Structure 1
């Protein structure tokens, strides 16, 4: 236990309640776990997404190997045996009064609330073009909790839920989501698993959020297609690129 409380963690320290991954309105601080826990109790805007204890840059987080002294207290129900069979990572998450930015995960996952209460908003994948996701980005700067009070997201299809200790939320791959604390602090375990038989990127993926290989290749193809039209007049370029875009939409609807 002494090793655990003196373990150094890298935490997000936010300047406001709504963290923004793209704007980087937070900084990374290194402190002992004991210091972090104390600061969270004091109400500081801190957020911990635990990494692998031994290989933070190379291996996914795993509660069993990273926190063996507490992992036996976390047990998935037998109905979720398929999650353990396809396990990618199990991530300890602890936060003070800060919102997680709007994002999607490429891997399916379950969010298990251990302590405190959190409110989630989820959006179906079809809303991705309406929520400020730049090409190739899996995060958005839109503050959903402020925007839902206006009419700016009236064209979207949000689902809302509130998690209390013992609740488990299933997050299908590519569902957009964000969360805000209802209590002063929150402890959760987030378990990611592979629900596709193939198609994942073959590159290093510590966070389990690297886009599918087909999408990565398609973005390279888009760059090449764009360059092949760059010397044509604007109207001609728009005509043909518009036709290509329409063809892709037809393929997507099949």
Structure 2
């Protein structure tokens, strides 16, 4: 699936129909939403699927995840690749059935992986690109999850996944691991960028407009200096 190209469509099915089609090998992907308020409220397994939620229990070593819980998302899929993206919230991916392969990249690789300004998703096909060595400047990590495995995905780590088995069932638990800095307002998926970044992008727009009437060489000179100053701050 490619979120930017939207090479998929949303459909409504009963869970029975969906399960039957996944078992038949169809390319389907379920990312659960809130049963009551899908446009306003994050998904919670215990609220959205109460009859099965008691079967999923985090180990005591992950008590902090439960204490800072944002959402717990049921994911069921057939032979479908997830697009390359990053999450602003830290999360753990708990594989329940089937096997899935993940590729993770550290946040420092973001400039090498086709992320447009302000976008948290990329259209790069990591699986094809790694095979062709076109991502030689990146630093991928590979993880293959079997039933019972838990993968920690730190905030801002870029990742994509592909099923190894014909189908996959997992629960993805998102939690807040920062004391502050999150954006306020609606955030159903827990993937809204930090408040400082949202404000900074507005500042970038204002800065670029302030130079628009200057000659091209002059504009490039000063904007390049500003960009260099920001890189120096980032390196500190």
Alignment partner of 1:84 out of 66, 74, 90: 66
Query: How far does residue 203 in structure 1 lie from its aligned partner after superposition?
Result: 1.8
SS in 2 for 1:160: strand
Normalised by the size of structure 2, how large is the TM-score?
Answer: 1.00
Q: How many residues align?
A: 236
Q: What's the counterpart of residue 143 of structure 1?
A: 125
Tell me if 1:223 matches 2:205. yes
Spell out, residue by residue over 1:10-38, the C-alpha distance to the aligned partner (whole angstroms, 9 max, x if none).
xxxxxxxxx10000000111111111111
Q: Which residue of 1 aligns with 2:39?
A: 57
Match of 1:242 in 2: 224
TM-score (normalizing by structure 1)? 0.92
1:98 equivalent among 77, 80, 89:
80
Task: Write out per-residue CA displacement over residues 154-190 of structure 1, whole angstroms, 9 at most, x where no aligned residue.
Answer: 0000000100000000000000000000000000000
Structure 1 unaligned segments of length 5 or more: list them: 1-18
Which residue of structure 2 lines up, in the alignment, with residue 155 of structure 1? 137
Q: Could you list the runs of 4 or more consecutive aligned residues of structure 1 that deviate by over 3 angstroms after TM superposition?
A: none
Alignment of 1:15-30 (within 5 A): 19-30=1-12
- Give the structure 2 partner of residue 251 of structure 1: 233
1:66 matches 2:48 = yes
2:148 to 166, 171, 188: 166
RMSD: 0.4
Q: Which residue of the partner structure matches residue 194 of structure 1?
A: 176
Deviation, 1:151, is: 2.0
Q: Which has the higher contact order (CA 8 A, sep 6+)?
A: 2
Query: Which secondary structure state, in structure 2, belongs to the residue aligned with residue 151 of structure 1?
Result: coil
Partner of 2:24: 42
Partner secondary structure for residue 93 of structure 2: strand
Any stretches of 5+ residues in structure 2 without a counterpart? none
d(CA) in 1 for partners of 2:111 and 2:74? 30
